[in-house]
Amino acid sequence: MLFADRALVTCLWMFALSSPVDAPWVVHPNGVGPAKVRMSLPMLNTTLHTSNARTTDPDGRDCFYVDIPGHDGLGVMVLHGKVARIDVDDSITPTARGIHNGDTEAHAVEVYGGRLSVSPHAYEPDEGHYLTIHTADGKSGIRFETEDGRITRYYAGAIEAIALIEGCS
C-alpha cells in the first residue's frame, strides 16, 4: 500500500512539473482564467493574489485597467468597481473556440457562424470591421477588431463594456 501511495504522489508531482505554468488562459464571454466578469475588485485581487487598487485619478475612478501578473497582453477593465471586460492584445491567448489575434475574419466567421455580427470599424470603415458575438442571454459577448481581413485585437465581457470602442477613454 505504501508503494502505491508513493507511486501516485510521484506521478502527480511529475504531471505538475510538466504542465506549463505560463500556458495562455482561454477567453470566454464571461472572463479569462479565474478572472470573471462582474467580480468586485477585492474579489479579483483575492482570486489573482494581487493588490490592485482603485485609481486615485478623479477622472478615472469609474473605469480603469489592471494587469494580470504573468499574462502580458491581457488587461482587465474595471468599470464601476467590477470586472467588466478582458482586453486581449497578444497573439497567444485564444478564445474558447480557438480564435487568436492574427486569425482571419473568414476563420472567425467559419468558427462562430451566423451568430457573429459584422459591422464597420469606427476608425477604419473601409479596411476594418467589428465582429461581435453575444451570449444567449444577451449579457456578455466577445468583440473582435479587424483590419485588412485579420483580427488585430479582441475583448470579452459585459455587453455594455465591449461596446466601448475606446476602452475607458
The per-residue pLDDT for range 120-145, each reduced to its tens digit, is: 999 988 999 999 999 999 999 999 99
Helices and strands in the chain: count of H runs, count of E runs: 4, 10
Return the CATH architecture of domain 24-162: Sandwich (2.60)
Q: What is the pTM of this model?
A: 0.82
How far is 71 from 86, CA to CA, in rounded Å? Answer: 12
Ranges of each domain in the chain: 24-162
Does residue 96 surpass a pLDDT of 60?
A: yes
How far is 104 from 57, CA to CA, in rounded Å? Answer: 38
3-class DSSP assignment, residue 149:
coil
